[in-house]
Amino acid sequence: TRYFVDHRKVRVVGGQGGGGGHSFYSEPRKEFGGPDGGNGGDGGHVIFKADRQMKSLSSILPFYQGFHGERGGSKNCYGANGAYMYVKVPVGTLVKEDGRVVADFTQHGEEYIAAYGGAGGKGNRFFLSNENRAPTFFTPGEPGQDRVLHLELKTTAHAGLVGFPNAGKSSLLRAISNAKPAVAAYPFTTLNPHVGIVHYEDYEQVAVADIPGLIRGAHQNRGLGMAFLRHIERCRFLLYVLDMSESQPWIQLQDLKYELEQYKKGLSTIPCVVIGNKIDLAQSRINLPLLKEQVGERVIALSALTGDNLEELLLHLRELYDNYVKTEQSQGKSPVKW
């Protein structure tokens, strides 16, 4: 099963600076031309760059080494600087060092220098002075910066599927997109987040993230804990998936909103729609009118298993997406595109 990697530990080392040159100029009739060893080139930086084409941290390697600077040459020739090494990361990536956030990529094209290259060494020409007309001293290049960084991806999907285990989130994602998360009749079938793309006839694409099932107390790190709550933060709207076959399904909605609010204040107030899943079961049809009486949000009753009423969800999903795009454009921002 394919899923996107949302966490990576990376060691980055800047390029080594080139050593200084050591030589003396000499030619016919100018035997003592003096020192002419040039300085070494600086080592190249390792730079993280946000790229909207990247959707996962799966291509990030555990180690990156910057390019080294070249050694200084004779005739006062400086060594070439090491080229910069660019590492593409998805938009929505957090860079942490020792638990502290040092970079947060929210826009395409943003850059962060993860490791500085070392300075180039000085050639013997640099040490020429009136007191020392023939210096033989030169310095080696400095080593590059060495850091261990942790990359975390906060999903920049448009919609997030939120629900308790076995509510049918993975089945629903399989029904509306080409994603293939695992589906089984036991809790915590989904242990990794998945992103499915819903395609529309006008070529617009809406990204829907299947967040692994929450449980009561998730904000206190119970169950799968807070490992995936961060993915909900940057979703533009939420799809609360409720198991309609259980008694009092509106209690599920209240508990889900409570967990989100405890994790981050205001998270439960972003645009949403309530999805009553498993409507093909008899008990679910009995609970549906009771649910509509108890909740103020729009309720879409469907069955991810049989495909009943998926069309209404897809139409409303597009409405939520269009409203998001209009809001972003009215504020002079660029909406996230997949």
pLDDT for 156 beyond 70? no
pLDDT for 99 beyond 80? yes
Average pLDDT, stretch 116-138?
Answer: 89
pLDDT for 338 beyond 70? no
Confidence of residue 62 (pLDDT cuts 50, 70, 90): very high
pLDDT of residue 220: 53
Confidence of residue 76 (pLDDT cuts 50, 70, 90): confident
On the 0-12 / 13-18 / 19+ scale of CB atoms within 10 A, 30 is exposed
Cα(50)–Cα(88) distance, rounded to whole angstroms?
6
pLDDT for 191 beyond 60? no
Quick one: which of 213, 168, 174, 167 has its CA closest to 190? 213
pLDDT for 82 beyond 90? yes
Q: What is the CA radius of gyration of the chain?
A: 29
| 19 φ/ψ angles, rounded to the nearest 5 degrees | -70, 155
* Better pLDDT: 312 or 214: 312
CB distance 192 to 170 below 8 Å:
no
Distance of CA 241 to the CA centre of its chain: 25
pLDDT of residue 66: 94
pLDDT of residue 145: 95
Domains and CATH numbers, the chain: 1-154 (2.70.210.12), 159-331 (3.40.50.300)
pLDDT of residue 217: 55
* Better pLDDT: 46 or 332: 46
Tokens of 107: 């826009």
Q: What percent of the chain has pLDDT over 70?
A: 88
208-263: per-residue pLDDT in tens? 888 775 666 554 555 455 556 777 777 888 889 888 888 888 888 888 888 888 87
262-289: per-residue pLDDT in tens? 878 888 788 889 998 888 888 888 888 8
Q: What percent of the chain has pLDDT over 90?
A: 27
CB distance 171 to 283 below 8 Å:
no
Confidence of residue 4 (pLDDT cuts 50, 70, 90): low
CB distance 263 to 227 below 8 Å:
no
Average pLDDT, stretch 181-206?
Answer: 68
Confidence of residue 185 (pLDDT cuts 50, 70, 90): very low
